[in-house]
Structure 1
């Protein structure tokens, strides 16, 4: 009897597809495109089942036909720079698949901002043992999370075109592009600001809010980001209302809510620093305080708004 397939034998390769070749396999390799992920799940056969609903002269189950099939890959990557200023991190294809543009300034920085047109797609290989699943034409949504005493991560959900899995040779993988992260703390997370005010904070999340939908039509099957609705959540220690009033900041039925900038920066090692800014945010309705360790805390939510367009947030790696 054959040996069982071990779950911890997973290999994940992800590579961007050329803009003019949607759904064409760019053949990711273990040497260049290996992903270092956690909390990974691969759903190889999402879609619908259409019952034939035949009228028969007897009782019994009906056969269904699988339609609109697609794949979904979900997982976390550690949010840390490449270690070299101006060099893209190993997770670059993932955030670009979330409808973001990448700008490299050699020796200085890598910047990511949202885009509406010219959005990239990715191909993903997911191997368990020698069984290989292939996802093509993938587009994604993601959430960046920074929790105190935790490792900052980008969690992505990639939706792509369905293919039949097959047995393949396991590639050798190179993980040297993935740098060791720093856990979030007072020392390693020097910026945590709302409206220019330094807050004592417990957590931060930026949900990229991409509405990813498969479109399975005649002559064309593809996955598109049809819209976006970003959101930010933060939990902070309460302060006097003279410093920050969350009720006033949320506005009222007669007052327009004031716009506030938000900035969080994590990392203290050059080449591994991640700065997240959303310059024009409107605070959501204030739901009230909560207690943690006998201290009052405020759970706050924000919507980052575009100003000129495609400028509602920026991630800068230095």
Structure 2
């Protein structure tokens, strides 16, 4: 019988011990995702390089096996201030710390050490794929008249897939999103200047690597290259001058607020983003727009950006 591609179930849970299955359940750990792309058996094929008495292809050995998954999750807070959203474990897998203030807020910020890991269970039909020791990277994307998304790329240790009874995931914690509009996204400022924004993205750009040695096999985040990009309507240089900002190597604050009601407000704050060279213009509907690139820089460390849900 054919296995329907749309029969997918995705579960994710933080691990207590690295690489040990944290046993996510449908009741508590379901993920409502879109655009799932799964590569179950990434790695290399090591040739045996045999000297044969005839012309023939070489036998190979599979090495460095791991799994890779990309998908999107709608960026919607939990609906209750101080309660972490259901997608929080995924962001924590990306070298990000979570701080809960009960009844008030949930805050996320990048961290250098003690990166958490997680286990992902993924079903297509009755076939279950397990990614243990998973870590990854994420990009936060906001596009006018679209849905705000968290776009994840996750790498995990390879396990042989098996046929398992399908769980029934509970997805009610994933609330309906609000479109990115003037009404729903009341604040977007660069250097304290309100700019008309077409799109904005913060890419964590984690350097995620598999490290397979004798005695240890793991997925590590070894570096980070945060980059913020935005496409905005150009303004007179007397209002804001990106050319001078780039030439002077200035780091400016960037603030984006999405959501209006308590429990559904996400505030992304970059304390100091170094403005990069403006490399061209965009023409949209015969209106001049600037494609901005800005590098979030740390001040005290691990504070180059914060995402706060209130």
Q: TM-score range by the shorter chain?
A: over 0.9
Find the aligned partners of 1:23 and 1:284 in 2 and give their Cα distance.
39
> Is 1:84 aligned to 2:80, yes or no?
yes
Corresponding residue number in structure 1 for 2:266: 274
Query: Shift of residue 73 of structure 1?
Result: 1.3
Q: 1:240 aligns with which of 236, 239, 243?
A: 236
Query: Shift of residue 268 of structure 1?
Result: 1.2
Over 4 Å off, 4+ runs: none
Corresponding residue number in structure 2 for 1:198: 194
Corresponding residue number in structure 1 for 2:170: 174
Q: 2:115 aligns with which of 115, 119, 125?
A: 119
Corresponding residue number in structure 1 for 2:8: 10
3-state SS of paired residue (2:243): helix
How do 1:71-110 residues align onto structure 2 when only pairs under 5 Å count?
71-110=67-106
Per-residue CA distance 1:200-237 (angstroms, 9 max, x = gap):
01000000111000000001000000010100000010
Q: 2:257 aligns with which of 243, 265, 268?
A: 265
> Is 1:301 aligned to 2:293, yes or no?
yes
Find the aligned partners of 1:7 and 1:36 in 2 and give their Cα distance.
16
Corresponding residue number in structure 1 for 2:64: 68
Q: With the length of structure 2 as denominator, give the TM-score of the two structures.
A: 0.99
Query: Shift of residue 269 of structure 1?
Result: 2.4
Query: Shift of residue 60 of structure 1?
Result: 1.1
Query: Shift of residue 246 of structure 1?
Result: 1.2
Find the aligned partners of 2:280 and 2:172 in 1 and give their Cα distance.
45
Q: How many residues align?
A: 310
> Is 1:211 aligned to 2:203, yes or no?
no
Find the aligned partners of 1:200 and 1:297 in 2 and give their Cα distance.
9
3-state SS of paired residue (1:8): coil
3-state SS of paired residue (2:39): strand
Q: With the length of structure 1 as denominator, give the TM-score of the two structures.
A: 0.97
3-state SS of paired residue (1:303): strand
Find the aligned partners of 2:12 and 2:129 in 1 and give their Cα distance.
12
Find the aligned partners of 1:71 and 1:310 in 2 and give their Cα distance.
28
Per-residue CA distance 1:145-177 (angstroms, 9 max, x = gap):
000000000000110101100000000111111
> Is 1:141 aligned to 2:137, yes or no?
yes
Can you give the 5+ residue segments of structure 2 that lack an aligned partner in the other structure? none
Relative to structure 2, which stretch is displaced further, 282-291 or 85-94? 282-291
Could you say what the CA RMSD is over the residues aligned between the two structures, in angstroms? 0.6
Can you give the 5+ residue segments of structure 1 that lack an aligned partner in the other structure? none
Corresponding residue number in structure 2 for 1:23: 19
Find the aligned partners of 1:49 and 1:285 in 2 and give their Cα distance.
42
Query: Shift of residue 299 of structure 1?
Result: 0.4
Find the aligned partners of 1:273 and 1:123 in 2 and give their Cα distance.
29
Corresponding residue number in structure 2 for 1:292: 284
